[in-house]
Amino acid sequence: MHEGQLTFFGGVSKSGGVQVLYGKGKQAILFDFGIEHSSLLFPKQTTLYEPVGATTGREIRQFLLGGMTAPLLELYDPQQIKGIDPAIVSRVWSDREFPQYERISLFIGHMHTDHIGALPYANPDLPVYMNHDSYALYRGIVAGGHYPDTAARIEACEDLSIIDFGEFTIQIVEMDHNATGAAGLIIDSGDYKIAYTGDWRRQGKHPEKIDRFIELCRNKGIDVLITEGTRLPADPAAVPSYQQPEDELLNDFAEWIGAAEGLVYLQMSPRDLERMANMIAIAVEKGRKIVMESSHALIWHAANQEGLRILEGHPALNAEIRVLDATVTDGMTVPYDTVALEEVAEHKDQYLYFFKFPDLAQMIELETLGQLQGCSHFIQSDYSVKVDHKDVAKFLKTFGITGHTLNNGGHAHPEAISDLVERIAPKAVITLHSPHPRSLDTRGVKAFFPEKGQTVSVASIIEAASVAAGQ
């Protein structure tokens, strides 16, 4: 029996970009497949702004040569990396030796770019596992034009599914995060058990999922816990800002939309489909009609076509959705009837508009046409472009629009992470997805701090923790 080991390609002392390879014998599983936020390049998106992105058609080549993704060429589409010299890729990683496996599979925890950024360039023969609702959301973001599709073989798995790779199994465990379907996993090799949280939070709609994960880990006797630590501060004594529970956030939304006299603009991430559904239901209850820009509508429709488990029986599924005609480009087919911009402007008090930042120019017409000038409200809800962004603020000031912020983030407070570590009580804990992993209070559990590119056996991690405990 071969020894299980971990190789850390991404997410080490950085926010995002987690790529960790666990392998034993001839099989391995890589989790996740994203690009770090602080890399040289960022995968292009259409929802926010144009960051410094990779050259179209050469993305994976630049990610590989920039050291931004795992240097295992078998993971990638041969046509997209054609001509790349493996020796140069190896040199980028200081010619480190990496483990070789006959078969590598991929687990994707959730649908944020820093966890799926390399997926469009995956080898068509690569088996990809993800939670069912993550898969539904992926189909949505592809339909909405936010990502190219992948040729890899995706298997959508039900929550708590167990996949057997021979010398080890993985169990997919749904968590709570601000991307629908987010999941962690538990790896069981018979001799050791590893838990990976993925991105998670306690202040969301489903803290009970975190409690369930903890209980599963306790029952299995986890040896090594890998958790995200996005909100860990540089100074361990610093206290991060309060994060509002999801139910309180939705109550504030209901109050604001109930009191609004004019048009309500809602700028939120369409990857949080449960919040989107809850806000649709609240708006309809308050007498508002729902209008979306086209990519939001495409995501909402395509994801729900897959049968989102989290939204079974949700009243938002029966809501009438319309698409603002000004957002429909030539040749685009949208799944709902369109409504004219002029109609929305004329009847501002009747609509909630799911809006995205690049469409700010529409406010010029929506606010100057029709009645109720100076009565509109703009709600920013966990969207990367905030109300105080200079361009947004300029439009709000010009047209007398009242701005609101409804954020609670997708990541756990440091106190919640410490509590999770203490309750699971692993032999060792590894904190990824954070520039400040050493600031976590592990409450007596020994921490292991990997280096980028490092390969280490699970036994060595536990042994190092044991030695530290004996000092």
- pLDDT value at 375 more than 50: yes
Residues 256 and 345 in one domain: yes
Which of the listed residues 385, 405, 425 is the one where a domain comes to its end?
405
Residues 76 and 197 in one domain: yes
Q: Which residue has the tokens 């050291």?
A: 67
Residues 9 and 68 in one domain: yes
What distance in Å separates the CA atoms of residue 157 and residue 148, rounded to the nearest whole number? Answer: 22
241 within a domain of the structure (yes/no): no
Report CA-CA distances (Å) from 439 to 18, 397, 431, 445. Answer: 19, 40, 10, 13
Residues 374 and 430 in one domain: no
32 within a domain of the structure (yes/no): yes
Total tally of structural domains belonging to the chain: 2
Which of the listed residues 405, 423, 438 is the one where a domain comes to its end?
405
Residues 368 and 435 in one domain: no
Mean pLDDT of 41-57: 63
Confidence of residue 138 (pLDDT cuts 50, 70, 90): very high
DSSP 344: H
Q: What does the mean pLDDT of the chain come to?
A: 94
Comparison of pLDDT for 465 and 315, the residue scoring more: 315
* Structure confidence at residue 226 (pLDDT): 98
| 40-54, 55-69, 355-369, 376-390: least confidently modelled range | 40-54
By residue range, what is the domain housing residue 62?
5-236+411-470
Which of the listed residues 383, 405, 427 is the one where a domain comes to its end?
405
Residues 364 and 449 in one domain: no
Residues 317 and 366 in one domain: yes
Residues 265 and 132 in one domain: no
Confidence of residue 107 (pLDDT cuts 50, 70, 90): very high
Residues 90 and 226 in one domain: yes
* Structure confidence at residue 248 (pLDDT): 97
- pLDDT value at 51 more than 70: no
158 within a domain of the structure (yes/no): yes
Report CA-CA distances (Å) from 321 to 250, 294, 360. Answer: 20, 11, 21
Confidence of residue 45 (pLDDT cuts 50, 70, 90): very low
| 220-230 pLDDT, tens digit each | 999 999 999 99
What distance in Å separates the CA atoms of residue 313 and residue 330, rounded to the nearest whole number? Answer: 35
Contact in structure between 197 and 227 (CB atoms under 8 Å): yes
Residues 288 and 416 in one domain: no
| Domain CATH code at residue 336 | 3.40.50.10710
- pLDDT value at 282 more than 60: yes
CB neighbours of 261 closer than 8 A, spacing ≥ 6? Answer: 349, 372, 375
Confidence of residue 47 (pLDDT cuts 50, 70, 90): very low
| 159-198 pLDDT, tens digit each | 999 999 999 999 999 999 999 999 999 999 999 999 999 9
Confidence of residue 457 (pLDDT cuts 50, 70, 90): very high
Residues 90 and 52 in one domain: yes
| Domain CATH code at residue 448 | 3.60.15.10
Confidence of residue 237 (pLDDT cuts 50, 70, 90): confident
- pLDDT value at 48 more than 50: no
Mean pLDDT of 335-357: 97
* Structure confidence at residue 445 (pLDDT): 97
231 within a domain of the structure (yes/no): yes
Sign of CA dihedral 45, 50, 53, 57: positive
- pLDDT value at 46 more than 50: no
| 400-435 pLDDT, tens digit each | 999 999 999 999 999 999 999 999 999 999 999 999
Confidence of residue 41 (pLDDT cuts 50, 70, 90): low
* Structure confidence at residue 434 (pLDDT): 95
* Structure confidence at residue 236 (pLDDT): 86
- pLDDT value at 144 more than 80: yes
- pLDDT value at 12 more than 70: yes
